[in-house]
């Protein structure tokens, strides 16, 4: 099986998938899509993903090539195709809880800080996009902090990293980019530090990616 990940170094959605691949110990080809300079709008990439977003995971297996978009779909496929180590708990309620925590980020925070949303808001009211993003990030992190406390151990759900942690870490990084200090959410910050100590999270970090600008790049 050959895996190719279409990614942008600083995309939080692509970062989630890089974490999942690293936790699973899966090798993949990295295909950079330069979102800053419109690489997602090129015809060749639009043919891969009409939503002109990253990530896309291309899978070649048994003479067949398929492509998956959307980080949640990709990570759930990875967990079913390569079940060890698991990204979702074995018990029904645990799986639901982890999905809930991930969706608080995936549906409740990240879309509201998206660059497209900011541009649209700035066209209507110049300079408002960043203020809007910060408002919804802070509200979302308030909710996530309260929800995560109900079952957190070392990580979001117990003492092993899960799907929820794949979503948390990129979101906290993005939050800081919008000027949000994460200190008011101590449980989230503590979990982030636990994740940062793991080689899989280190390998998936933006500054380790081949398309990171030289000024931001860090090698292992």
Give the phi and the psi of residue 211 in degrees, each rounded to 5.
Answer: -95, 5
**CATH 1.20.1050.10 boundaries in the chain:** 92-201
- The verdict on domain 2-85 having CATH code 3.40.30.10 is yes
Tens of pLDDT along 200-219? 999 999 999 999 998 776 65
Spell out the SS3 assignment of the chain. Answer: CEEEEEECCCCHHHHHHHHHHHHHCCCCEEEECCHHHCHHHCHHHHHHCCCCCCCEEEEEECCEEEEEECHHHHHHHHHHHCCCCCCCCCCHHHHHHHHHHHHHHHCCCHHHHCHHHHHHHHHHCCCHHHHHHHHHHHHHHHHHHHHHCCCECCCCCECCCCHHHHHHHHHHHHHHHCCCCCCCCHHHHHHHHHHHCCHHHHHHCHHHCCCCCCCCCCCC
Q: Does position 220 have pLDDT exceeding 60, yes or no?
A: no
Give yes or no for residue 74 having a pLDDT over 80. yes
What pLDDT, on the 0 to 100 scale, is given for residue 215?
A: 79
Task: Tell me the three state secondary structure of residue 156.
Answer: coil
pLDDT in tens, 14-32: 999 999 999 999 999 999 9
Phi-psi region of 198 (alpha: psi -120 to 50; beta: other; left: phi over 0): beta
Q: What are the tokens at 16?
A: 């989630």
Nearest to 165 by CA among 10, 9, 3, 22: 22
Task: With cut-offs at 50, 70 and 90, classify the pLDDT of residue 124.
Answer: very high
How is residue 203 written in tokens? Answer: 């390998």
Answer yes or no: is pLDDT of 187 > 70.
Answer: yes
Across 127-132, average pLDDT = 92
Q: Give the end-to-end CA distance of the chain in Å, rounded to a whole number.
A: 26
**Separation of alpha carbons 114 and 15, rounded Å:** 15
Q: What is the average pLDDT across 111-138?
A: 93
Work out the average pLDDT over 160-186. Answer: 97
User: What pLDDT was estimated at residue 219?
Assistant: 54
Every domain range in the chain assigned CATH 3.40.30.10: 2-85
CATH (residue range 92-201): 1.20.1050.10
pLDDT score, position 212: 96
Can you give the pLDDT at residue 115?
87
Instruction: Tell me the pLDDT of the chain averaged across its residues.
Output: 95
Whether residue 157 contacts residue 98, with contact meaning beta carbons closer than 8 Å, is answered with yes
Q: Which residue has the higher pLDDT, 219 or 173?
A: 173
What pTM was computed for the model? Answer: 0.95
Cα distance between residue 158 and residue 25, in whole Å: 21
Per residue in 55-70, pLDDT tens? 999 999 999 999 999 9
Respond yes or no on whether the N-terminal peptide bond of residue 70 is cis (omega within 30° of 0): no
Task: Give the pLDDT of residue 218.
Answer: 66
């Amino acid at each position: 099986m050959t895996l190719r990940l279409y990614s942008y170094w600083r995309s939080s959605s692509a970062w989630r998938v890089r974490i999942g691949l690293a936790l699973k110990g899966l090798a993949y080809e990295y295909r950079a899509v330069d979102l800053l300079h419109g690489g997602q709008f090129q015809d060749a990439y639009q043919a891969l993903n009409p939503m002109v977003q990253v990530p896309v995971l291309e899978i070649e297996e048994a003479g067949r090539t398929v492509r998956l978009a959307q980080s949640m779909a990709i990570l759930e496929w990875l967990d079913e195709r390569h079940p060890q180590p698991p990204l979702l708990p074995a018990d029904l309620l645990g799986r639901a809880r982890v999905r809930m925590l991930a969706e608080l980020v995936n549906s409740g925070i990240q879309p509201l800080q998206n660059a497209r949303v900011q541009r649209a808001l700035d066209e209507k009211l110049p300079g408002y996009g960043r203020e809007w993003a910060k408002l919804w990030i802070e509200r979302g992190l308030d909710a996530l902090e309260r929800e995560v406390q109900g079952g957190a151990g070392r990580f979001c759900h117990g003492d092993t990293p899960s799907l929820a942690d794949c979503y948390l870490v990129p979101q906290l990084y993005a939050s800081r980019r919008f000027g949000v200090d994460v200190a008011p959410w101590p449980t989230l910050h503590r979990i982030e530090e636990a994740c940062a100590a793991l080689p899989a999270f280190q390998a998936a970090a933006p500054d380790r990616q081949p398309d990171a600008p030289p000024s931001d790049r860090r090698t292992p």
